[in-house]
Structure 1
Amino acid sequence: MAPVAAAVTRVLITGFGPFQGVPNNPSFAIVSRLPSTLPNNIEIYTHPSAIPVAYHPTINVLPDLYATAKPDVALHIGVAEGRKYFAVEAGSERGNFDLIRDIDGKNFTDAEGDAAWGNAAARLNTDIDLDSTITKWQTRTADFKWPSILSRQMSVLGALAEQKVDVKASHALSEALGEKGEDVSVAAPDPNDEVRWSDAVGFYLCGFIYYAGMVQKSVQSAAEASPQARVGKRDTVFMHVPLLLTEEEIGVGVNVTTELVQSLVETWRVQKAG
């Protein structure tokens, strides 16, 4: 008897638009190049435009986006300018989104957070098993030919300078967004890994969409309550990508992302069956 095919798993994926120091955000460049389906009965629903790097437009779009896509798994992607690797973040914290103003010159206050998220915990972690996911992801990308992303910091700075970007301000912002210690509750990453886990999502729009997305996924899961539903589960993750500049690098980013999606879905299916 032939094995029963897995049910279709739907994955929502978003990327961000430009902000200070990043006029061409590689997160949306990747999202815009993803296929609509992958092997193993995976459907990809991509938001058709870049999410603005602004708090209120981001939180306003999420309810309709999740309601329309009805994802089993959600993946939000952003850029970490100073990094030289791809990383899935463990979680995000609320209460710090008033530290840095967005591209509209606004922040997101604690009072707005209380109104939007009620009594949700100060910190939320994804409910998807990261140890399993990262192990699969590293195996799937083990034979990748990595472009020179990971050793061209000076050329990145030169490119930014040519675009008349305030490099000093850009890097100061980058440091403010995500310099936190790694969470030892997950196996420590090897510093040589091109794909890995992290716990430094930061307090800007990357951390914001991750926290808001986990809350929204919990709401969606609870609304779908049935014997088969993972009620209230935060099946949402966030990936940081390096500052990819060339088409070759964006192409690698697309391949890395599709392998992450496969890894996430495999892990999610095992968790759901369990």
Structure 2
Amino acid sequence: MPSNDPHKPVKVLLTGFAPFLDITINPSWQICQFLQQHPPTNFTNIDLMIHPTPIPVSYHKMHALLPSLYEQYDPDIVIHLGLAAERHYFAMEKSAKRDGYHDVPDEDRRVWTRGEGKKFWGKEKERLETDLDLDSAVNTWKSSVAGMRHSLPPSSASNASQTASASASEMQVDVKQSDDVGSYVCGFLYFGSLLEMEKRKKKRDVVFLHVPGLEGVKEVEIGARVVEAAVEGLV
């Protein structure tokens, strides 16, 4: 449980990523912006804190930012949103690995070298898992979004043709648990955040939530509702 006091609001920190490469508009950040402008009205005993600027798609900037995020917000739960453009579903990721961030350059055209990994994380476990009960959270999440529908760009929708019904791109909102956060900035942020919370609070109540390639105001609003449901499921 995030808190032993049932009357104390659970502080949930939500972040989203900045645009990068050919992703000129990042739906993970658009969802955060929407929730800033339209705060959830149905939350009970939840203090949703949204970081007001997007997370930079930069290994070194993220590494420098994480301690200040925890210092500023002192969160009970952290949810990092990120884009998985090739997927048609929303997913809570189970774990992140320590190594492997030396292959793909970030937006600054830099990598997290093996030497840096050894210097900062060399004594840590090769993989860290969230302490949050994702099995229970995802079950609640699925129930909450039942009946929601959304549309995806053709490239994403074509991967989910088996779930499409009303049109080639309109489908039931799909949410699930995953263990494939990847070896790029998503995995890097997740591992670093899990480690930061563990050091500060002796727990890892952090989750990375991948969102599909949502486009347009309507789809972002639906994405925000899905994320709201995820927050309630985790708390």
Q: Same fold (TM over 0.5)?
A: yes
Task: Indicate the residue corresponding to 2:234 in structure 1.
Answer: 264
- SS, match of residue 48 in structure 2: strand
Percent identity between the two aligned chains: 38
- CA–CA separation in structure 1 for the residues paired with 2:59 and 2:91: 22
Match of 2:86 among 82, 89, 94: 82
Query: TM-score w.r.t. structure 1 length?
Result: 0.74
Deviation per residue, 1:18-61 (Å, 9 max, x gap): 11221100001001121277521101111111111110111111
Task: Indicate the residue corresponding to 2:27 in structure 1.
Answer: 26
Q: Cα–Cα, structure 1 residues 198 and 119, in superposed 2: closer, same or farther, change >3 Å?
A: same
Which runs of at least 4 in structure 1 moved beyond 4 Å after TM superposition?
A: none
Deviation per residue, 1:125-157 (Å, 9 max, x gap): 10111110100100111122x1222x722799x
- Does residue 1:106 correspond to 2:86, yes or no? no
Deviation at 1:234, TM superposition (A): 0.5
- CA–CA separation in structure 1 for the residues paired with 2:45 and 2:86: 35
Task: Indicate the residue corresponding to 1:233 in structure 2.
Answer: 203
Task: Indicate the residue corresponding to 2:193 in structure 1.
Answer: 213
Deviation at 1:106, TM superposition (A): 0.1
Q: Which runs of 5+ in 2 are unaligned?
A: 159-171
- CA–CA separation in structure 1 for the residues paired with 2:180 and 2:65: 24
Contact 1:215 1:234 in 2 (8 A): yes
Contact 1:89 1:239 in 2 (8 A): yes
Contact 1:67 1:220 in 2 (8 A): no
Task: Indicate the residue corresponding to 2:154 in structure 1.
Answer: 152
Task: Indicate the residue corresponding to 1:243 in structure 2.
Answer: 213
Which has the larger strand fraction? 2
Deviation per residue, 1:220-266 (Å, 9 max, x gap): 20xxxxxxxxxx1110000000011111110011000011001101x
Q: Which runs of 5+ in 1 are unaligned?
A: 157-191, 222-231, 266-274
- CA–CA separation in structure 2 for the residues paired with 1:76 and 1:113: 21
Q: How many residues align?
A: 215
- CA–CA separation in structure 1 for the residues paired with 2:187 and 2:33: 22
Q: Cα–Cα, structure 1 residues 6 and 29, in superposed 2: closer, same or farther, change >3 Å?
A: same
Q: Cα–Cα, structure 1 residues 154 and 49, in superposed 2: closer, same or farther, change >3 Å?
A: closer
- SS, match of residue 79 in structure 2: strand
Matches within 5 A, 1:167-186: none
Task: Indicate the residue corresponding to 2:163 in structure 1.
Answer: none
Q: Which has the higher Rg, Structure 1 or Structure 2?
A: 1
- SS, match of residue 196 in structure 2: helix
